[in-house]
Amino acid sequence: MKIRNKKGLVSLMVLSLTGTLVAGCGASKTVDQPANSTAKPAATGAAAKKTDYKLGWYASAPHPYFEEVKKGVEAFEKEYGITVEKQIGPDWKQPSETDNVQALAAKGIKYFSIYPSDGSAANGLYEELTKRGVKFVNFGASTLQPTTASFFVGTDAKAAAMVATEKLIALMGDKGNIVNVLEVLEDSNTILRKQGVEEVVKKHPNVKIIQEISGMKSTEEAVQKVDSAIAANIDKVDGIIATGFTPTVAIAQVMSDYKSKGNKRTIHSIGIDTDPIVVKAIKDGTMDATIAQNSYGAGYLSMLLLKEMADGWVPKKDAYAVDGGIVVVTKENADTFQNDIMKVTNDLKASLETKYLEKK
């Protein structure tokens, strides 16, 4: 979901806004299986015993994104026969995460894949436990640099939002008014996405944001706010963008209702993540596009990196960021985008020991 520092970022951007792969947002609907068996698994070196790995996965709070990431973690467990201690916290607050991760470390977990609730405050937790030999890989969100985390696996949230905004503006014919729908401002990814949307709009003199709405912790709340925003701007809105899971689902529902009532004004729309409601709206033509991020890869690859480090591999210099990739999903590739996501995961898996890790 977020990245704070692009140093070492492996760019996979093949920027085609017609539904092709773009490397670069929460939940991507992925096939629930291990990474492609035709891809060569990363070597394990002098493998530790299974009981020695002591791997843990921690997510801040219940959210559809984390459920998709967990599928990748479970695929890793199945493929390698290694148990991962998995825990989802109660909220997005760093004190809760700190207490829970410290408790897991006290139980003997030494290798953590974590979504940092606070990109700054999480560093204090990491620094304390790193002194005790604990290793960290951030998934979905990066801690502020410098950090003792070995890697970040996920998406450049700002870059993904910029891709989505460019796609929307192209659909609008490079002119018109946008409603920007954010999710929860407590998540620093939301701030990065807001920045990305605004930066792109500034590059297009005939495009402007006429309203911004945020603070959506449930689909019901999001539907109400999105519906109200469209109603308030019904004679001037040309495009609507959501950069979070919940508001994207809301846009799919609201736009379906809008078009079913025979409204004549064309309102283009794009979101993030691939809930079945969203994909169906795209196939039906009530929504134009969405951004699929590699949530599966964030889980699978973060655990594989931890295993590799337990086997004696160390991070290469300036190889902190492992960009999981995104795909722009349109009607043309709505049935096949999962294959593109899985290919990115397999390609990254095959490159871990050449681009990101080394033996000392």
pLDDT tens-digit series, residues 138-172: 999 999 999 999 999 998 899 999 999 999 999 99
Cα 233 to Cα 228: distance, rounded to the nearest angstrom: 9
pLDDT tens-digit series, residues 331-343: 999 999 999 999 9
Confidence tier at 50 by pLDDT (50, 70, 90): low
What average pLDDT does the segment 276-291 reach? 96
Confidence tier at 201 by pLDDT (50, 70, 90): very high
Q: What is the DSSP letter of 355?
A: I
Paired tokens of 106: 């006290």
pLDDT at residue 158, rounded to an integer: 93
Cα 231 to Cα 57: distance, rounded to the nearest angstrom: 42
Query: How many CA atoms, within 13 angstroms, populate the side-chain half-sphere of residue 189?
Result: 28
Q: Is the peptide bond before 146 cis (omega within 30 degrees of 0)?
A: yes
pLDDT at residue 22, rounded to an integer: 35
Question: Could you give all domains of the chain from N- to C-terminal order, each with its CATH number?
Answer: 27-155+294-323+338-359 (3.40.50.2300), 157-292 (3.40.50.2300)
Q: How many helices (H) and strands (E) does the chain have?
A: 10, 15
Give CA 8 to chain center in angstroms. Answer: 18
Q: Which of 322, 325, 332 is nearest to 357 (CA)?
A: 322
Confidence tier at 187 by pLDDT (50, 70, 90): confident
- Paired strand residues for 242: 181
Confidence tier at 262 by pLDDT (50, 70, 90): confident
